Amino acid sequence: MATKSIRNRVGEEAVQQKGWLVAHKWLLLRRISQISILMIFLAGPLFSVWIIKGNMTSSLLLETIPLSDPFVFLQTLASGVLVDENMIIGAVIIAAFYFMVGGRVYCSWVCPVNAVTDAADWLRRALNIRNRITLSRDNRSILLVAIILVSMISGMLVWELVNPVTMIQRELVFAMGFSWVLMLAIFILDAFFSRRAWCGHLCPMGKFYSMMGRYSPLKVNALHRSQCDDCMDCYAVCPEPQVIKPALKGDEKTSPVIFSGDCTNCGQCIDVCAKDVFSVGHRFITPIKEIKNSDTSQREVSL
Amino acid sequence: MAGGTTLQQRRRFLENISRAAGGLALFSMGLGVYSRQAQSLPAEALRPPGASINEKECQSACVRCGLCVRDCPYDTLKLATLVDSVALGTPYFEARKVPCEMCEDIPCVKACPTGALDHALTNIDDARMGLAVLVDQETCIAFQGLRCEVCFNVCPLQHKAISLDRSHNARTGKHALIIPVVHSDACTGCGKCERACILEEAAIKVMPLKLAKGELGQHYRLGWKEKEKAGGSLVTPDLKHEYNLPEGATYDYEGEGLKQAAPDNSMNDTPFGESALDRLNKGFK
């Protein structure tokens, strides 16, 4: 069992134990989700199949259902603009959806920037590039506050003048402009300077969705945390590693559920864990049952 | 010991707070300054029908979803990218490239989810995307006395938005100049005239209303209009102007000019006859 010292690749043990496909299940599902959402948007302009019209800031599904980004809606509210009801209805629908599945599901299952930052993180791990700049995760909160404040003062959607996230989403669906330059910049920043700099430390949109998903019923948990052999692989792949510890290293009285809204429900911890510690469930899972079940097995393995 | 740690904690807390505040201020200022800059819309970029003439209002109401672009049947509208000098992601069009075709059902306005394109606009003739201005009379061939009238012919509101005015051609002395004249009370700024202008660089251009229109000072009153409104002169009525004319002569200042009175026979014996020639002839006699 003591393969930790000779193992050099994150997730290798999981691949050996579960097979490549199972060890990449959530990653593949996420990519499928990201690509198919993009394809639904592109089906109109490319193949004239208009399932959805517009882009992720606001769109019309099947010519009837309005969908809008609640973060952009919040900015319009802050800037004091009274938008039409379609925008409001759309924002409520999307907000309700992300409340149910977890706010930052947007980040890991929908947002196309995720593919860029995941690739940067993969490269960083593969080349063993070390952090050059340490950023605080509070930066995104500061940015979020600043954006709301400046929107209120200026009465304009200031963040949408520079927002790389909505920019790439828009330009993928409409004509590609120069948002790829910003994507390249984010990639370089993430890969060579600071780990998960954009999504984990800077993006105010991520912070907004994180707040929205704080009380979501759908949460990843470390239900079988007693099986953990401290290989640290989950910390290595997790885009928000600080969220794992309270659930994984909690005592019998603390919940195994990862409550933090920062968790993106990406499932990379599930993929990478050879011990099947993590799983997806609801937020009301209690630790008592779990300890009864796996108490004996845990003793056998570790002692 | 305990006091030391609290002091350290306090110091760190203060440091963190001030750093956060500093970062907040720095970022806000940058964003604020940039947002000001982004309010300047280049003159050739025209907004879709129903967009606010106030660029700031227009930008704050638009969420950059592109639904107007999608529903534009003529691919007139496009979304600004990072390198265009139009606010990022907002819809615009350039008249010289693809003008607005002025659809009667105005699909772009209907598609707008936020009302950035005013849903109250139901008649496309009421749209004011800009105003066509015949900016260059030196190159416009109509001013050279040539028949062109292309801008007039493509105008969707012929005779209302563009009319043709005749004036004298001083160069040939016998022809007319047929000059296109734009009327701001009807021109929607669709840009079809600018698109169609036959010159290398259009002589008629659609400009933002702010650039194209003058505005009379609010205190200014045009006397004859006030008089019309009031149904009579508001001040002491003007005295009828009296010309100091030779006796019997009248002056018709609407055309005929000085009208001589009929020759007065009683004056025949004076040396001053009705014409200088008579007087000369008289001398010879």
For the record, the structure tokens of A144 come out as 């979020």
pTM of the model: 0.76
Report the amino acid identity of residue B1. Answer: M
- pLDDT for A3 equals 44
Give the residue on A whose Cα is nearest the Cα of B26: A146
For residue A179, list chain B residues with Cβ-Cβ distance below 8 A.
81-82
DSSP state of B142: G
Candidates B79, B84, B88; nearest CB to A161: B88
Query: Under an 8 A CB cutoff, do A161 and B35 touch?
Result: yes
- pLDDT for A166 equals 87
3-state secondary structure of A234: helix
Q: Percentage of residues in chain A with pLDDT exceeding 90? A: 18
Question: Is pLDDT of A292 > 60?
Answer: no
B210 closest CA partner among B32, B57, B77, B35: B57
Measure the CA–CA gap between A160 and B256, rounded to whole angstroms. Answer: 68
What mean pLDDT do residues B13-25 have?
86
Measure the CA–CA gap between A246 and A28, rounded to whole angstroms. Answer: 27
- pLDDT for A64 equals 83
Asked whether the beta carbons of A122 and A189 are under 8 A apart, the reply is no
Give the residue on A whose Cα is nearest the Cα of B80: A177
Q: Percentage of residues in chain B with pLDDT exceeding 70? A: 90
Question: Is pLDDT of A236 > 50?
Answer: yes
What mean pLDDT do residues B121-146 have?
91
Is B66's Cβ below 8 Å from some Cβ in A? Answer: yes
Bridging pattern class, strands B162-168 and B176-182: antiparallel
Measure the CA–CA gap between B180 and B142, rounded to whole angstroms. Answer: 8
Give the residue on B whose Cα is nearest the Cα of A50: B70
For residue B64, list chain A residues with Cβ-Cβ distance below 8 A.
55, 57, 160, 166, 170
Confidence of residue A234 (pLDDT cuts 50, 70, 90): confident
Query: Under an 8 A CB cutoff, do A177 and B83 touch?
Result: yes
- pLDDT for B196 equals 92
What mean pLDDT do residues A200-214 have?
90
Candidates B28, B79, B89; nearest CB to A146: B28
Is B40's Cβ below 8 Å from some Cβ in A? Answer: no
* A89 vs A13, more confident: A89
Question: Is pLDDT of B143 > 50?
Answer: yes
* Residues shown for chain A: 303
Confidence of residue B81 (pLDDT cuts 50, 70, 90): confident
For the record, the structure tokens of A237 come out as 């792949």
For residue A72, list chain B residues with Cβ-Cβ distance below 8 A.
63
What mean pLDDT do residues B72-89 have?
88
Confidence of residue A6 (pLDDT cuts 50, 70, 90): very low
Measure the CA–CA gap between A280 and A290, rounded to whole angstroms. Answer: 14
Distances (CA, A) of A50 to A53, A60, A91, A110: 6, 10, 21, 19
* B239 vs A203, more confident: A203
Measure the CA–CA gap between A265 and A280, rounded to whole angstroms. Answer: 8
Helix (H) or strand (E) holding B91: strand B91-92
- pLDDT for B269 equals 57
How do residues B181-197 score in pLDDT, each as one tens digit?
999 999 999 999 999 99
Is B33's Cβ below 8 Å from some Cβ in A? Answer: no
- pLDDT for A8 equals 58
3-state secondary structure of B34: helix
Confidence of residue A303 (pLDDT cuts 50, 70, 90): very low
How do the residues of chain B divide into helix, strand and coil, expressed in percent and rounded to 5?
35, 15, 55
* Residues shown for chain B: 285
Query: Under an 8 A CB cutoff, do B113 and A159 touch?
Result: no
3-state secondary structure of B132: strand
Burial A68-87 (b: 16+ CB within 10 A, else e): bbbbbbbbbbbbebebbebb
Question: Is pLDDT of A297 > 50?
Answer: no
Is B112's Cβ below 8 Å from some Cβ in A? Answer: yes
Question: Is pLDDT of A119 > 50?
Answer: yes
For the record, the structure tokens of B237 come out as 């009525």
Is A76's Cβ below 8 Å from some Cβ in B? Answer: yes
Cβ neighbours of residue B107 under 8 Å, at least 6 residues apart?
B71, B72, B73
User: What ipTM, to 2 d.p.?
Assistant: 0.76
Number of continuous H segments (helices) and E segments (strands) in chain A = 16, 5
Which residues numbered 171-210 in A keep a CB inside 8 Å of some CB on B? 171, 173-175, 177-179, 181-182
For residue B61, list chain A residues with Cβ-Cβ distance below 8 A.
76, 81, 83
For residue A76, list chain B residues with Cβ-Cβ distance below 8 A.
60-61, 63, 114
For residue B27, list chain A residues with Cβ-Cβ distance below 8 A.
142-143, 146
Query: Under an 8 A CB cutoff, do B114 and A87 touch?
Result: yes
For the record, the structure tokens of A157 come out as 């959607």
Of A6-10, A15-19, A222-226, minimum mean pLDDT range: A6-10
DSSP state of B93: B
**CA of B16 vs chain A CAs: smallest distance (Å):** 10
Give the residue on A whose Cα is nearest the Cα of B83: A178
Asked whether the beta carbons of B178 and B166 are under 8 A apart, the reply is yes
Neighbours of A91 (CB within 10 A): 25
Cβ neighbours of residue A147 under 8 Å, at least 6 residues apart?
A75, A78, A158, A159, A204, B31
DSSP state of A242: G
DSSP state of B126: G
Of A5-19, A107-121, A192-206, B10-24, minimum mean pLDDT range: A5-19
Query: Under an 8 A CB cutoff, do A57 and B56 touch?
Result: no
* A214 vs B3, more confident: A214
B48 closest CA partner among B88, B77, B79: B77
- pLDDT for A5 equals 44
Top residue of A67, A76, A81 to mutate, by most chain B CBs within 10 Å, is: A81
DSSP state of B239: P
A26 closest CA partner among A210, A296, A264: A264
**CA of A181 vs chain B CAs: smallest distance (Å):** 10
The rounded Cα A155 to chain-centroid distance in angstroms is 30
How do residues A80-116 score in pLDDT, each as one tens digit?
887 778 888 889 999 999 998 888 999 999 999 999 9
At which residue do the structure tokens 């802050």 appear?
A: A78
The backbone torsions φ and ψ at residue A157, rounded to the nearest 5 degrees and listed phi first, read -85, 75
Question: Is pLDDT of A301 > 60?
Answer: no
Cβ neighbours of residue B7 under 8 Å, at least 6 residues apart?
none
For the record, the structure tokens of B194 come out as 């600018």
Candidates A54, A81, A171; nearest CB to B67: A54
Of A297-301, B68-72, B202-206, minimum mean pLDDT range: A297-301
Query: Under an 8 A CB cutoff, do B31 and A159 touch?
Result: yes
- pLDDT for B1 equals 45
Give the residue on A whose Cα is nearest the Cα of B85: A161
For residue A81, list chain B residues with Cβ-Cβ distance below 8 A.
60-61, 114
3-state secondary structure B179-199: EEEECCCCCCCCCHHHHHCCC
Report the amino acid identity of residue B3. Answer: G
What mean pLDDT do residues B40-64 have?
87
Query: Under an 8 A CB cutoff, do B61 and A175 touch?
Result: no
Is B83's Cβ below 8 Å from some Cβ in A? Answer: yes
What mean pLDDT do residues B129-145 have?
92
Measure the CA–CA gap between A84 and A70, rounded to whole angstroms. Answer: 14
For the record, the structure tokens of B157 come out as 């509101």
Of A214-228, A279-293, B46-60, B140-154, minimum mean pLDDT range: A279-293
For the record, the structure tokens of A131 come out as 């952090």
Of B17-31, B33-47, B201-215, B242-256, minimum mean pLDDT range: B242-256
Report the amino acid identity of residue A289. Answer: K
Query: Under an 8 A CB cutoff, do B60 and A66 touch?
Result: no
**CA of A216 vs chain B CAs: smallest distance (Å):** 27
Measure the CA–CA gap between A93 and A237, rounded to whole angstroms. Answer: 31
How do residues B223-242 score in pLDDT, each as one tens digit?
888 888 888 777 777 777 77
How do residues A122-166 score in pLDDT, each as one tens digit?
898 888 888 888 888 888 888 898 889 888 888 888 888 888 888
Q: Percentage of residues in chain A with pLDDT exceeding 70? A: 92
What mean pLDDT do residues B111-124 have?
88
For residue A79, list chain B residues with Cβ-Cβ distance below 8 A.
60
Of A78-82, A111-115, B65-69, B117-121, minimum mean pLDDT range: A78-82
Per the prediction, chain B carries an average pLDDT of: 85
Question: Is pLDDT of A74 > 60?
Answer: yes
- pLDDT for B99 equals 93
Top residue of B26, B39, B58, B60 to mutate, by most chain A CBs within 10 Å, is: B60
For residue B117, list chain A residues with Cβ-Cβ distance below 8 A.
none
Measure the CA–CA gap between A112 and A66, rounded to whole angstroms. Answer: 21
Distances (CA, A) of A81 to A73, B59, B60: 10, 10, 7
CA-CA-CA-CA torsion for A11, A14, A19, A23, nearest 10 degrees?
-60
- pLDDT for B21 equals 87
